[in-house]
Amino acid sequence: MNTVNGMEGETTKNDTKILGYMCDKTSMMGVTVYTISGTPVPLKLESDMMGMKMTETATRVKKGNVSSSKFDIPSGINIQHDVQADQMAKMQAKNIIQSLLSVEMPAMPMGQGQYGDERPERNQDEGQESMSPEQMEQMKQMMQMFGGQKE
C-alpha cells in the first residue's frame, strides 16, 4: 500500500462485488486491479497504457486444495542457481529494508555502487563521477550477468 500511495495511486475498500466477493479497487499508473477484499487475490484487472487497453476478469473462483503437481517444474526446463545473482539480490533487499527502517529513500544500485551503499567519488578536475576499481569490477560482473560481453 505504501508503494501505491507513493506513486499517487489510490485504493477504495469494498468498491464493488465480483463473483459474490466484495473487492477492493486499487488504481495506479493506468492500471486498476480489483482484489478480494483484504487479500491479494485479483478478480479483475483493467489497463490502459500507451494506447493499449486490456481487461482480464475471473470467470469463477474454485476453492479447495491445489494439487502438488501444479508446482512441478515442466520438463525441458533446466534450473541453475546463480550464486552471484542471488547474493546481489539479497544485498539489495537488505539495503532497501534498512533504508525503509531508517525512513530514507532506498539507494538504487545503478550509479551508486552495486549494493547501493557505495557512492561514486567525484573527480573535481573533470566534474564527472568516477568509480573505484572495486566498483568497476562489480559493474563488469553485473554486465556479464545480464548478457554483456566478457573480457
- The per-residue pLDDT for range 109-126, each reduced to its tens digit, is 554 444 444 444 444 444
* Cβ pair 34, 15 in contact under 8 A: yes
For residue 133, what are the CA distances in angstroms to 58, 136, 145?
A: 53, 5, 18
Domain boundaries, the chain: 2-58, 83-145
pLDDT for position 97: 83
Q: What is the CA radius of gyration of the chain?
A: 22
pLDDT for position 86: 92
Residue 41 backbone phi and psi in degrees, to 5:
-85, 110
65 or 127, greater pLDDT: 65
pLDDT for position 100: 78
62 CB burial (10 A radius; 0-12, 13-18, 19+):
exposed
| pTM for the model | 0.46
Alpha-carbon distance of 106 to 126, in angstroms, equals 28
Residue 142 backbone phi and psi in degrees, to 5:
-65, -45
Helix 83-101 to helix 133-145 angle (10° resolution) is 120
**Residue 56, C-alpha cell as written in the block:** 482480464
Residue 26 backbone phi and psi in degrees, to 5:
-120, 125
Alpha-carbon distance of 15 to 118, in angstroms, equals 44
148 pLDDT band, cuts 50/70/90, is very low
pLDDT for position 139: 65
Alpha-carbon distance of 34 to 14, in angstroms, equals 9
